[in-house]
């Protein structure tokens, strides 16, 4: 299974997951991690803990809220500290997570190969940002 980890400032990740579950019903394998109580190094360690706790055969997509911000930097640092043989199990970080992107991930993660899923997520996430007429 491809699992999801939404890493954000404050409680944004948890709120996005709650909204997605409200729309789609409960889904397993998706969790939020907030930087609220962590400095950068502790957030990196928390990410590494989650990477290392992946069940055998599962992958993990890391989604963060803003490029260049603390959660994004921590995710990149954590990935750089993973042994080379474990890196293919963790995808991302995908920045700019929003509800359309998360809903697409939940709907398609079991049926769409990773190489096709990432461009689809980017497309759906961008399509969800518009100015209504």
Neighbours of 2 (CB within 10 A): 19
Residue 132: pLDDT band with limits 50, 70, 90:
confident
In a domain, 26, yes or no: yes
What pLDDT digit, counting tens, does each position of 37-62 carry? Answer: 889 999 999 999 999 999 999 999 99
Question: Given this model, what pLDDT does residue 26 score?
Answer: 77
* Integer Cα distance of 69 and 9 in angstroms: 9
In a domain, 133, yes or no: no
pTM: 0.94
Residue range(s) defining the domain that contains residue 33: 2-127
In a domain, 91, yes or no: yes
In a domain, 132, yes or no: no
In the chain, the number of structural domains is 1
What pLDDT digit, counting tens, does each position of 66-97 carry? Answer: 999 999 999 999 999 999 888 888 999 999 99
pLDDT for residue 27 is more than 80: no
pLDDT for residue 114 is more than 80: yes
In a domain, 9, yes or no: yes
Cβ atoms of 24 and 103 closer than 8 Å: yes
Question: Given this model, what pLDDT does residue 58 score?
Answer: 94
Cβ atoms of 64 and 8 closer than 8 Å: yes
- Residue 96 belongs to a domain with what CATH number? 3.40.50.510
């Amino acid at each position: 299974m491809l699992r999801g980890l939404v890493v954000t400032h404050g409680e944004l990740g948890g709120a996005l997951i709650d909204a997605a579950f409200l729309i789609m019903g409960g889904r397993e394998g998706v969790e939020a991690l907030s930087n609220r109580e962590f400095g950068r190094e502790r957030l990196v360690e928390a990410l590494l803990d989650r990477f290392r706790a992946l069940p055998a055969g599962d992958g993990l997509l890391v989604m963060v809220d803003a490029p260049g911000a603390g959660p994004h930097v921590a995710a990149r640092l954590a990935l750089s500290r993973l042994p080379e043989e474990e890196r293919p199990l963790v995808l991302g970080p995908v920045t700019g997570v929003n509800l359309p992107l998360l809903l697409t991930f939940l709907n398609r993660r079991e049926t769409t190969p990773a190489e096709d899923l990432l461009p689809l997520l980017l497309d759906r996430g961008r399509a969800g940002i518009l100015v209504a007429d």
